[in-house]
Amino acid sequence: DIVMTQSPDSLAVSLGERATINCKSSQSVLYSSNNKNYLAWYQQKPGQPPKLLIYWASTRESGVPDRFSGSGSGTEFTLTISSLQAEDVAVYYCQQYYNTLPLTFGGGTKVEIK
Amino acid sequence: EVQLLESGGGLVRPGGSLRLSCAPSGFTFSNYAMSWVRQAPGEGLEWVSSISGSGGRTYYADSVKGRFTISRDDSKNTLYLEMNSLRDEDTAVYYCAKFVTLSGGDYFDYWGQGTLVTVSS
């Protein structure tokens, strides 16, 4: 199984400041034949289901604000919120889909307002 | 608008059974693989099971293999999860989630609101 490790577990950021969340995979999720990283990011607000933010490590889902961006390749990835808004308070999860059995998620990073 | 509506959750004793259903709308159900993902109280996300768009291929997490069965009825536009021999550790919110492809095994573009399964004596 590919183990996904997120850091930090939680972070508190002031409104308008940058939030950075890291995700490491236990093996590369970069498929060499198409040069794509098989990694997605989700946002889960309290009491709600997860919502897709980013796929292929850096492609923003339609309707997702451009303050959210994904970067990285191979085994190390980052989700950045460039200017934190109050509505961004949530838990964020990364997920690899390089190995479909099993699909695995990171443990989550809780983002709060400082 | 894509919607996924789960039902069937509830309180069940250890060793008992439960069947979850998911009723999708807003897309052509038969064209997409589907999955169940669960979240124990206060915990993260755990993939449980997936089924291809044709229904011909099913996949399970080791933690539920042999106890849970995923199925779909495209004529009724419904996804199911039959859960047997339930254990305390199966207590979770169970989400129905849609893959972006027919074969699945990729990421989820839509999730239902979830249905709570509580296993307790």
Tell me how close the Cα of A14 comes to any Cα of chain B, in angstroms: 25
Q: How many CA atoms lie within 13 A of A15 on its CB side?
A: 3
Which pLDDT does position A77 carry in this prediction? 98
pLDDT tens figures, B14-60: 999 999 999 999 999 999 999 999 999 999 999 999 999 977 899 99
Residue indicated by tokens 């307002």:
A113
Which pLDDT does position B54 carry in this prediction? 79
The C-alpha R_g of chain A, in whole angstroms, comes to 13
Which pLDDT does position A61 carry in this prediction? 97
Average pLDDT over residues A68-93: 98
Kind of pairing, strands B18-25 and B78-83? antiparallel
| Beta-bridge partner residues of A98 | none
- Contact: B105, A61; criterion CB under 8 Å: no
Which pLDDT does position B101 carry in this prediction? 86
Residues in chain B with CB shorter than 8 Å from the CB of A49 are 95, 111-114
Q: Where are the beta strands (DSSP E) in chain B?
A: 3-7, 10-12, 18-25, 34-39, 45-51, 58-60, 68-73, 78-83, 92-99, 108-111, 115-119
pLDDT tens figures, A7-39: 999 999 999 999 999 999 999 999 999 999 999
pLDDT higher than 90, residue B105: no
Read off the amino acid at residue A51. K
pLDDT tens figures, B64-76: 999 999 999 999 9
Mean of all residue pLDDT scores within chain A: 96
Copy the structure tokens of residue A32: 């060499």
DSSP summary character for residue B102: S
Closest in A51, A93, A97 to B105, CB measured: A97
| Beta carbon pairs, A and B, within 8 Å | 56
pLDDT tens figures, B34-46: 999 999 999 999 9
Copy the structure tokens of residue B80: 């199911």
DSSP summary character for residue A61: P
pLDDT higher than 80, residue A103: yes
Which pLDDT does position B10 carry in this prediction? 97
Which pLDDT does position B49 carry in this prediction? 96
pLDDT higher than 90, residue A58: yes
Burial B93-118 (b: 16+ CB within 10 A, else e): bbbbbbbbeeebbbbbbbbbebbebb
**What percent of chain B stands above pLDDT 90?**
93
Q: How far is CA B55 from CA B39, B52, B74, in A?
A: 24, 5, 9
Instruction: Indicate the Cα dihedral angle B100, B2, A54, A92, nearest 10°.
Output: -120
Hey, is A9 helix, strand or coil? Answer: coil
Asked if residues B32 and B102 have their Cβ atoms less than 8 Å apart, the reply is yes
Nearest-by-CA chain B residue for A52: B109
